[in-house]
Amino acid sequence: MKKTFDGQIAKMMYLAQMSAMKEILKLGEFKIGSRESEEYKYFKKVVMDEFYNSMTEAFSTLQKEGLLEKCPCGTSIRLGFKKDCNDCNGASYRNADFLNDTLTERKVQRNPEN
């Protein structure tokens, strides 16, 4: 079941990327075989490094642009699955006030009666 978008951009991106990464790892396990093999361990390391590094780079760029900020929950993107945070859900970033204000303004413009 898909969750409804709650406005947190980093959380949405993080959850989508984590889902894609898990599917790629499943395909790798299917093709390579045992999770215990050296080939699979190497494959998993490369896949996870690429996903986490690219997400970190994207979130850092969005932070520099003033759209995201570090989440006060203090999680690390690589350990995010261990954190239960409503703002970031493990992404380690959340919307900056500017982005929240912009999203709220757009929502009001689309639905003026609410």
The 10s digit of each residue's pLDDT in 74-104 is 888 888 665 578 888 889 999 998 887 787 7
Q: Which domain, by its residues, includes 78? A: 9-108
> Which of the two residues, 5 and 19, has the higher pLDDT score?
19
Whole-Å CA distances, 29 to 5, 19, 36, 51, 65: 31, 15, 10, 17, 38
Q: Is 3 part of a structural domain of the chain? A: no
Q: What is the pLDDT of residue 46?
A: 97
Q: Is 113 part of a structural domain of the chain? A: no
Q: Is 2 part of a structural domain of the chain? A: no
Domain count, the chain: 1
Q: Is 98 part of a structural domain of the chain? A: yes
Q: Is 74 part of a structural domain of the chain? A: yes
Whole-Å CA distances, 3 to 11, 16, 35, 43, 46: 11, 11, 30, 30, 29
Q: Is 20 part of a structural domain of the chain? A: yes
The 10s digit of each residue's pLDDT in 8-66 is 899 999 989 999 999 999 999 999 988 999 999 999 999 999 999 999 999 999 999 99
- Residue 1 scores a pLDDT above 80: no
Q: Is 1 part of a structural domain of the chain? A: no
